[in-house]
A and B are shown apart, each in its own frame.
Chain A
């Protein structure tokens, strides 16, 4: 996260490869499922042996036995509808919810989150020197309409994507944040409105951030969890 500060995001998980390295983010949408982006995985049939989701800690390299930390193997990957760039990852055992680990809400189907809504992104990825990569960083941003966003991206932003406003100081997600959440406030809770996907540049001054619009795929998410 470029331009963020250390923060708390109990639904954000760190996806770990076989060597235990953090390589992407994800969001807990219930105790057994994490949503992330397909861009982080080599295929819809990748062998997930040795891959895990780490949660309940603010540190990228937590000490063994850190209280509240949970590391759960991933057992299944389900690819979302084409163009969604989303994947659902099943946990081998349910995550234990507590003050450090919780699930994020899903928006209503095909809902358009209003412009100006306060949101935040979270991740342990590249900070480009603007923060400490060894703790979870969070950055606040507000929703920008696709219409306005398309002015900057000259019409390339699609309906299944959404944008947040740009900052002259440059704020945004970066390497190893991909798959993490864009969580937006809704009265007293947080809703997963977007999923971080790779962009041409990250934290580029004046550039809005683009995310996959989760509400388009809530029906698919629920179907996977039910099936």
Chain B
């Protein structure tokens, strides 16, 4: 999943 990533990490 390269590209726009949902930032679900801290």
* A and B pair up: no
Give B residues with C-beta under 8 Å from A.
Answer: none
